[in-house]
Structure 1
């Protein structure tokens, strides 16, 4: 049962590494530049040093342990995500994966684990995924990637991410390709389960979730980190508490709850939006724990080798490279099917009612759009808006009475 020594670049708040630790592996170095994320890493992993700039390759190489044999890189999705500017590697954030390739050229690792959004394989004809895979091949790696949904691991969050494992010593399919479950997919009436959606959307999409929330993310269509909204079976609309946001990502409660930034990394205070950004950008802990166990208990994959990918083919959801040929493989996004609590029961906090302003903006957008929506949904949004307006009016009257009495 191999135990890996991890060098974690783009460490974020440690979701990928926390999961790998649960499977018995250990991190010897983080690299992260975001001040609040650095604070979380230093508080939650106090014995592990943190480098602050992946672009300082010389300094980084000097700090990497000689025995480190797994490089992890959940690199920024800012320029790849459909929620972002979709500039690809022309942007200044997602292109930092090139620093990973440069690091691998100068300090090889036997194994590499990379994570990012599914749009990585679609954007601009898949050229950015092609660039990374070609670079790994040029360095002597065999690779496999698979699109995986966090719901498979018992969490009511529909979160699809590409996990790419590259290795110089083994068959990469042995880590990612085990298990293929076809989940039950059914529509649930509004009054029988909670339904998640993005109140920041309404023109391009809803991010709708049946008994789950849509993908937690670090940004939104209106340019701010924000939690999704949840239409409860009672027809109330709430936004989940930060604690439940952390739990939906597989973290312990209050993982990001710190008052001050680290004085070395920078001054200032955490705030709610920044915490949502940290949580939304994190790698899901339950998924990474499963990968960590596959790394530890390596079982030979003996399934279908797949069909050969031609140079002009689009990137499939699952593929691998055996050292000579790239192949697509027919595997789904659920490697397991763990029992999942209904979303309404999963939430440990009541959540905050979606505000008048937020509801009014979303209601206006959804009414004007031609998006398909579940029967009764728009009416439920309108009823919530009227309730919130009524409560706001009552508070104003009460405040006016108290002011006059004073």
Structure 2
């Protein structure tokens, strides 16, 4: 934890399972309230942040205003990405989830926080020619905020997960660049032969892409709206194809293993058994804790950045990967996605819990898609998937006779 600096009291909208606030807390900041509507997520928050009140509806502005701590000076909002993400609906504000940022801004109009930290997918700045990013920053500017944003990759922080997210920091005082613009390291783009490292990919894809990762997994997803888990697959160096265990998924997001492992849901959100399958959704949708910790340290230190102002953005120009508003002009800044370059453990070494073999059905479907695809795959990959399919088919045929004998007995 930081020893000196400025520490903030945090109000966390769209709190999820508290990844952003957990990371900020490790840097010395303090969560004072959450707002979250998902029953399982609320249960996690009330278990892991036992002394912090949790409101249930971001649209109930009056109720929120009564609950927010008078000392809170930092509003966080990792608002839903469903309607912005390329893996989602891409409806933008016309969708029913991502439009909830409007309620965040409505709250800000009535209760100014000195600082605001927003998080979403990088597609936020590109969807519909940047209209939704423009709408949000214009609203912040009208309320007197200066802002800066940057796209950051969780892999820069030593975790073997390629996860790009856009963070926007707005403030009524000082220079917003101090929270985001420190550091600009070259990403680790090394490639490995299949036998040299584990490689992550999405078995649910195969026609237009597979989300490939060199000694890392691609971005963890929440899964389907029906709570069907959607973990990536991992081709291990020995040719085995597995899906990671949920506790390793939590660790890839920077949480302690078992962070979402609860026996029951909280009583005021339905009670009853905790739906274990939804742990994938909770972890996949979370803000990465290590990234949030780095942001918390920057927010505490607020050290001036050694950068020029950047290039003025013309009206209607595409939003770059990093930009800021100095109070009068918007400017583009040439910053990459790696503010640091921490040593990462190879994916195969990082995994702590035994993964499950990719099932026969999943492997068969994926194999058919990649065989029909025009994509170019890493040498040996298609063969490795075919070999795994053959092993799973043999295992299935070995099991069937024993099951028939057992039934006959």
Q: Which TM-score band (shorter chain)?
A: over 0.9
- C-alpha deviation, 1:220, in angstroms: 5.9
* Structure 2 residue 358 is the aligned partner of structure 1 residue 345: no
Q: Classify 1:223/1:79 alpha carbon distance in 2 versus 1 (closer, same or farther; 3 Å).
A: farther
Partner of 2:274: 270
Q: What is the distance in 2 between the residues matched to 1:222 and 1:196? A: 24
Q: Classify 1:233/1:216 alpha carbon distance in 2 versus 1 (closer, same or farther; 3 Å).
A: same
Partner of 2:145: 141
Q: Classify 1:260/1:296 alpha carbon distance in 2 versus 1 (closer, same or farther; 3 Å).
A: same
- C-alpha deviation, 1:362, in angstroms: 0.8
- C-alpha deviation, 1:365, in angstroms: 1.1
Partner of 2:188: 184
Partner of 2:38: 34
- C-alpha deviation, 1:149, in angstroms: 0.3
Q: What is the distance in 2 between the residues matched to 1:288 and 1:166? A: 16
* Structure 2 residue 121 is the aligned partner of structure 1 residue 121: no
Q: What is the distance in 1 between the residues matched to 2:89 and 2:370? A: 22
393-402 vs 139-148, greater mean Cα deviation: 393-402
**1:401 counterpart SS class:** helix
Partner of 1:259: 263
Q: How many residues align?
A: 405
* Structure 2 residue 218 is the aligned partner of structure 1 residue 214: yes
> Where do 1:45-194 residues align within 5 Å?
45-194=49-198
- C-alpha deviation, 1:284, in angstroms: 0.1
**1:182 counterpart SS class:** coil
392-401 vs 38-47, greater mean Cα deviation: 392-401
Partner of 1:311: 315
* Structure 2 residue 285 is the aligned partner of structure 1 residue 281: yes
Q: What is the distance in 1 between the residues matched to 2:375 and 2:280? A: 27
* Structure 2 residue 365 is the aligned partner of structure 1 residue 361: yes
Partner of 1:393: 397
**2:393 counterpart SS class:** helix
199-208 vs 146-155, greater mean Cα deviation: 199-208
Equivalent of 1:332 in 332, 336, 353:
336
**Structure 2, unaligned runs of 5 or more:** none
- C-alpha deviation, 1:271, in angstroms: 3.6
66-75 vs 299-308, greater mean Cα deviation: 299-308
- C-alpha deviation, 1:373, in angstroms: 1.4
200-209 vs 30-39, greater mean Cα deviation: 200-209
**1:83 counterpart SS class:** coil
**2:269 counterpart SS class:** coil
Q: What is the distance in 1 between the residues matched to 2:225 and 2:205? A: 6
Q: Classify 1:35/1:221 alpha carbon distance in 2 versus 1 (closer, same or farther; 3 Å).
A: closer
Equivalent of 1:376 in 373, 380, 385:
380
Equivalent of 2:29 in 17, 25, 28:
25
* Structure 2 residue 216 is the aligned partner of structure 1 residue 231: no
